Amino acid sequence: MADRTVDAPLPPGSVVGVLGGGQLGRMLALAAARLGLKSHIYAPAGDNPAFAVAHAATEAAYDDRAALDRFAAAVDVVTYEFENVPVETALHLRRAVPVAPSPQVLAVTQDRIHEKSYVAGLGVPVPGFAAIDTAADLAPALERLGRPAILKTRRFGYDGKGQARIDPHADSHAAFRAIGGKPAILEAFVPFERELSVIAARDWRGRFAAYDVPENEHAGGILRRSTVPARIDGATADAARAMAQRIMEALGYVGVMGLELFAVREGGEVRLYVNEIAPRVHNSGHWTMDACLVSQFEQHIRAVAGWPLGSPARHADATMENLIGHDADRWREIAAEPGAALHLYGKRETRDGRKMGHVNRLAPFGSRDSG
C-alpha cells in the first residue's frame, strides 16, 4: 500500500494525534494550539502530563486495536513523542491516517544495532560496535573494541538506563548481568571533547531546516545542560547538520529529529560520530522555545501537518538547564530570575532522575563566544 501523506496544509481546527503523553507531548500540544490546531494525545495509563493541555486524550494500551481505530478516526495525522511506540501500532494506524515519521523510522531507531548499522551504511561515522547476544560474545568484542567500552541494551534504553561501562579490569560478565543479560550492543568508548546534537526538520516534500547546533552536558547518562552557540567552528556545525540531512533523506523522514553526536579531536581535527537518533523532538532542543521564533515543537507540528517549515534562526544565545527531580523545587527562585524562562511539566510526582521541567536562560545574541 502506498504511504498516506499530507499533501496540503491541514487547516486550523485539524487534529494532530500524538502517541505518548509525556512532557514532549505536552509541549507539542501547546505548540499545536498556538497554530489553531488541536491535539489528541494517546497514551497508556500513567502520569501523562500532556493530557492536561490537549484537546482530547485517550488512555489506552498501544495494542488496543479498538481504541486505536477510534483514535485514527478522530485525527488528521499521527505523530509520536516517544520512540518506543510499538512499530505494529504505527503500522496499524497508517492504514487509516498519515503517520509521520514513518513506522520504518521507529523500526530502525528502536534497536541500537539496527540504528548504528543503518547510519554506518550511509557512510556516516559511528563508534565501533559489536552485537552481544550472550556473555560469550563479550571477550572477542572487548578484544576488538578495547577498554573502556560501553555496554547498552539494544532496546528500550534511555537517559543512561540499561547501560554499563566496562573499565580496564572490570568484570564484563557482571556488567552484562547489570543490564539484565538482555541482547546488547558493546560500543567503543569515545573520548569526546564535547557532545553536540542536531535538531532538524524535514517536511513531506523533502525541505530541510536545522537549528544551530547545541553543546550538551550529561551527568549520570541524563542531559543536564544544552548551550548555544556550541564551542565549535562553522565547518563542524555544517558537517553535523549535513549528517542529519543525509540520515533524514535516506529515511524519508517527516518531522523533527534529534541527532546526538560525539565531537572528538583527532590529530588537530574535530571528527563527529553519531551516538543516537531520536525520532522526535529532543531535550537538547528545548532552548528553541525561547531563543527562536519557531520552536522545535512548532516546527514538528508544522512539518507533520504539511505547513511551511518555520525559520530556525536564533535571536539569542541560550543555556537550557534541565530541572531533574527536586531541582524543580526551586521554581519560585527561578521564576524571579531575570532572563530566565521557566517551563514546568506538571508531573504528579517528583522522583530522583525524573525530568520535571527546564529553564532557558537567554543572553544577547553573539554575547557568548563560539569556536
Q: Reduce the DSSP state of residue 170 to 3 states and report it.
A: coil
Least distance (Å) from ligand AMP to the CB of residue 125? 12
Query: Tell me, what DSSP letter sits at residue 3?
Result: P
Which residue type sits at 210? A
- The alpha-helical segments, DSSP class H, found in the chain are 23-34, 65-74, 87-94, 103-109, 112-121, 138-145, 172-178, 234-251, 288-291, 296-304, 331-335
| CA angle in degrees (0–180, nearest 5) for 228-33-4 | 90
Distance of closest approach, residue 339 Cβ to ligand AMP, in angstroms: 27
Side-chain half-sphere of 183: how many Cα atoms within 13 Å?
10
CB of 250 to ligand AMP, least distance (A): 21
Comparing CB distances to ligand AMP, the nearer of 218 and 231 is 218
**Interacting residue ranges for ligand AMP, rule: CB under 6 A:** 127, 150, 152, 157, 160, 187, 189-190, 195, 218, 221, 260, 275-276
Q: What are the φ/ψ torsions at residue 120 (nearest 5 degrees)?
A: -60, -40
146, 108 Cβ separation under 8 angstroms: no
**Residue 285 CB, nearest distance to ligand AMP (Å)?**
15
Nearest to ligand AMP of 39, 172 (CB atom): 172
Q: Which is nearer to ligand AMP, 127 or 214 (CB)?
A: 127
**Angstrom distance (rounded) from CA 74 to CA 212:** 36
HSE-up (13 A, CA, CB side) for residue 135: 11
Q: What Cα–Cα distance (Å) separates residue 111 from each residue in 87, 172, 183?
A: 12, 21, 10
Q: In the complex, what is the shortest distance from the CB of residue 218 to ligand AMP, in angstroms, rounded to a whole number?
A: 4
Please give the backbone phi and psi of residue 39, each rounded to the nearest 5 degrees, phi first. Answer: -120, 145
Nine-digit cell at 189? Answer: 568508548
CB of 80: closest distance to ligand AMP in angstroms?
A: 18
Minimum gap (Å) between residue 58 Cβ and ligand AMP: 29
